[in-house]
Amino acid sequence: MLEDYKLKFIEFLVDQQALQFGEFTLKSGRISPYFFNASSFNTGAAISRLGYFYAAAIQELAPDCTIIFGPAYKGIPLCISTVSALSTHFNKNIGYFFNRKEIKTHGDKGILVGQMPTTHDQIVMVDDVITDGATKRESLKLVQQLTQATFSGVIIAVDRMETNAEGKDTLTEFQTDTGIAVKAIVSIEEICNYLLERKINGTVYLTDSTYRRIEAYLQTFRIRK
């Protein structure tokens, strides 16, 4: 049985139309029967609610974390909404920071913005998905060079559980190479098992026929159980 926050997150995904079923051409060229679009969380209420789910996942993966990092650009609103949710829902008042794409040479100079981590901090990175892992690896290298702080985990929204364009398991490779655990709030398998023929606010979002298409897709590209 999935944790309550995961079930609510799945319902939140379809309610916000961040998770859609149909036929979508991915960046890799694959034709996917579903699509996750984090840009759908584009209101104050939505991003605030999203922060709660990241905060709940952090409580499981790295409850002792002391600061949240969001890689530019999508990670910026995520790190802010996550620390806000940690304060509101879990009575945990910690800092956040993010990076700029380019170094600022005037005013608030530098490439990191927010609370600067120390060598004693335990950092959790928050982002929407992990595709090839390049952005997260670059972010790790940048932050560790500038602060020598320790990362205790990475939280993403959805684990597609499939190979990348090169046929590799990006998530597992990232964990192996960096020694840093990656936790998805939910996986596509958990989403499918919960939504199959279930009415959410009177609507069935995942029919049996669509479920079978996702199963066939994962049989071709799936890399993890």
Q: What is the pLDDT of residues 73-88, one digit of tens each?
A: 899 999 999 999 999 9
The active-site residue out of 27, 101, 106, 109 is 106
Residue 135 scores a pLDDT above 60: yes
Evaluate whether 214 touches 34 at the Cβ level (below 8 Å).
yes
**Can you tell me whether residue 107 is helix, strand or coil?**
coil
DSSP result, 26-66: -TTS-EEEEEE-GGG--SHHHHHHHHHHHHHHHHHH-TT--
Q: Let me know if 104 is a catalytic residue.
A: yes
pLDDT at 20 over 80: yes
Q: Answer whether 214's CB lies under 8 Å from 19's CB.
A: no
Looking at residue 109, its pLDDT comes to 57
pTM above 0.85, yes or no: yes
DSSP H or E run through 178: helix 170-178
pLDDT for 164 = 81
Q: Which percentage of the chain shows pLDDT scores above 90?
A: 77
Please say if 120 is a catalytic residue: no
| Catalytic site residue from 8, 27, 101, 104 | 104
C-beta of residue 184 within 8 angstroms of C-beta of residue 170: no
Domains located in the chain, CATH noted? 4-221 (3.40.50.2020)
Q: What are the residues whose beta carbons fall under 8 Å from the beta carbon of 1, sequence distance 6 or more?
A: none
